């Protein structure tokens, strides 16, 4: 039996979970439209706080009007013990999250990442103009529509300058993988905090992994404070890497001043017009019958709570604690397993699966995008250290992941024979189509290609080849009646072939007469 809220909203399948409850796909039976409904999970000691947070989310999100931010349609609050429910009715975004895309495809091309940065920054600017800081920007909260557009969702821990604090002292609000240093220190989040998170998201999109992820939430938080951003490598253009570095500066004053500035920078660098999506995602949706349960399923928390709640620890003490914790973990692993973990063989796997395999081995993965011919996008083509080597929990396993593109330059091909050029392009996975171009010289040589640069693997390239102009044969041309020299020459040649040239003289005499 379908569960209905307020005799209006018919709940369907669970499409997402959060710290306060579950998100359902539902139908507004009055207006006949599909909506998303976030229902508060009942039966916890923090019901009052969670209701206040959901109320705040509804009011804040409803004040933002931008196509890149999910709309809020309705809010209901009922704390009656029997059938009461507190929920938000929101725009249902058809599509999948950026987190799902990264898990399935791995690293993205720089122009695709700049498209994500530009679109998300435009949505953030609308929120910041309304005085709202998201505070929990991450791939799971960035939805992708079938048209390749981004939509920001989940303002559950967003705040304004006038918001009442809804978290406990000593709590880290947000997701530590993307949390700004000032948030780790317990300071007030600002628009620059959202920009820091966007920079970490961009790094994740370029490499397939979060740059500061460590074994524990504490370790990750300390990395946000003290560790430098890893090098993005030569495959990432310098202007793209520069923007990511500026967004992830430890000091908020060193980051761009506004999200609009970031969006403009990404557009100048070369953001794609939309985000490329697979024809279908392999991840299955949750079973439809879970939505018939009147109580939303319990979910993981969106906030990571620091273990010391009585007072804020000094950063130096926290760093020492992390070192001791890591040492204890290393010692425990060696006692249990007899030595350091071995690096698994992940070459040939998709980047998301390979990263999971590395994580399961107790190691950290770092990916870099490389252009390799005849290799599907997202496939791991190399790894370092090699399979079977002893891994180190302090050093990541670097995975080289195919971009699905191959770079070619006209300079290396123009002027060469067509057969050589065609063979070289076909070896690199391209299909070749020939076009003849009339030229006085360079016959048989390549004079132009219709496209160059980083091209999709398997693309068709039109190759222009020089061919000689067509010349009319004089022997087959019509003979003039008064110009006997031509006829005499032909006749003389024939005579020479028959009787040592005796006919040649007769032919000339006849021609003169």
- Looking at 136, 154, 177, 194, which residue is catalytic? 136
* Cis-peptide into 385, omega within 30 deg: yes
User: In the sheet that 96-97 helps form, which strands lie side by side, from edge to edge?
Assistant: 96-97, 142-144, 150-152
Contact residues for 375 (Cβ-Cβ < 8 A; gap 6+): 381, 402, 404, 457
Distances 365 to 327, 389, 404 between C-alpha atoms, Å: 20, 14, 20
What six digits make up the tokens of 513?
């007469």
Please list the helix, strand and coil fractions of the chain in percent, rounded to the nearest 5, in that order.
35, 20, 45
Picking from 16, 17, 19, 56, the residue whose alpha carbon sits closest to that of residue 303 is: 19
The whole-angstrom separation of Cα 320 and Cα 139 is 31
What six digits make up the tokens of 207?
């490499």
Using alpha carbons only, what angle is made at residue 359 by residues 180 and 353, rounded to the nearest 5 degrees? Answer: 105
The β-bridge relationship of strands 453-456 and 405-408 is antiparallel
Let me know if 424 is exposed, middle or buried by CB neighbors in 10 A (0-12, 13-18, 19+). Answer: middle
DSSP secondary-structure letter at 343?
P
What six digits make up the tokens of 25?
């796909």
The response to whether 405 counts as a known ligand-binding position is no
47 is catalytic: no
What six digits make up the tokens of 30?
């009055």
Say whether 426 sits in a helix, a strand or coil.
helix
The β-bridge relationship of strands 21-28 and 9-17 is antiparallel
Picking from 424, 428, 402, the residue whose alpha carbon sits closest to that of residue 413 is: 424
The whole-angstrom separation of Cα 225 and Cα 248 is 11
E strands present in 296-442: 304-305, 365-370, 380-384, 397-402, 405-408, 431-438
Query: Residues marked as binding?
Result: 38
Catalytic sites, residue numbers: 136
Known binding residues for ATP: 38
């Amino acid at each position: 039996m379908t569960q209905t809220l307020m005799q209006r909203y018919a709940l369907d399948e669970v499409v997402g979970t959060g710290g306060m409850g579950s998100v359902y796909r539902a139908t507004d039976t009055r207006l006949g439209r599909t909506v998303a409904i976030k229902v508060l999970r009942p039966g916890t000691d923090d019901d009052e706080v969670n209701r206040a947070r959901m109320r705040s989310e509804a009011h804040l999100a409803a004040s933002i009007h931008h196509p890149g931010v999910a709309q809020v349609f309705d809010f209901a609050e009922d704390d009656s013990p029997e059938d009461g429910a507190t929920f938000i009715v929101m725009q249902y975004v058809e599509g999948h999250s950026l987190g799902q895309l990264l898990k399935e495809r791995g690293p993205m091309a720089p122009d695709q990442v700049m498209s994500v940065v530009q679109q998300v920054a435009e949505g953030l600017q609308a929120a910041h103009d309304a005085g709202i800081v998201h505070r929990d920007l991450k791939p799971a909260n960035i939805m992708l529509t079938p048209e390749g557009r981004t939509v920001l969702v989940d303002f559950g821990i967003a705040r304004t300058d006038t918001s009442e604090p809804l978290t406990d002292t000593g709590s880290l609000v947000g997701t530590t993988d993307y949390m700004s240093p000032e948030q780790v220190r317990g300071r007030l989040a600002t628009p620059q905090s959202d920009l820091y998170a966007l920079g970490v998201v961009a790094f994740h999109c370029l490499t397939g992994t979060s740059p500061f992820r460590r074994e524990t939430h504490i370790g990750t938080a300390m990395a946000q404070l003290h560790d430098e951003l890893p090098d993005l490598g030569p495959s990432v253009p310098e202007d793209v890497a520069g923007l990511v570095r500026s967004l992830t500066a430890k000091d908020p004053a060193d980051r761009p001043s506004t999200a609009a500035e970031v969006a403009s920078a990404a557009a100048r660098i070369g953001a794609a017009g939309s985000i490329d999506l697979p024809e279908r995602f392999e991840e299955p949706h949750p079973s439809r019958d879970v939505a018939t349960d009147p109580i939303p399923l319990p979910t993981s928390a969106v906030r990571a709570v620091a273990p010391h709640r009585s007072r804020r620890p000094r950063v130096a003490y926290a760093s020492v604690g992390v070192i001791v914790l890591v040492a204890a973990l290393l010692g425990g692993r060696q006692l249990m397993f007899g030595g350091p973990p071995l690096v698994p063989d992940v070459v040939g796997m998709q980047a998301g699966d390979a990263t999971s395999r590395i994580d399961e081995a107790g190691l950290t993965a770092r990916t870099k995008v490389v252009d390799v011919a005849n290799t599907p996008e997202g496939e791991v083509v190399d790894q370092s250290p090699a399979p079977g080597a002893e891994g180190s929990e302090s050093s990541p396993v670097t995975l080289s992941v195919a971009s699905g593109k191959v770079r070619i330059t006209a300079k290396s091909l123009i002027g060469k024979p067509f057969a050589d050029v065609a063979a070289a392009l076909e070896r690199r996975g391209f299909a070749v189509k020939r076009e003849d171009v009339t030229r006085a010289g360079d016959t048989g040589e390549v004079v132009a290609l219709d496209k160059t640069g980083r091209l999709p693997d398997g693309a068709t390239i039109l190759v222009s080849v020089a061919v000689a102009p067509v010349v009319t044969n004089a022997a087959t041309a019509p003979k003039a009646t008064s110009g006997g020299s031509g006829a005499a020459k032909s006749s003389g040649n024939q005579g020479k072939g028959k009787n040592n040239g005796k006919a040649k003289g007769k032919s000339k005499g006849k021609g003169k007469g």
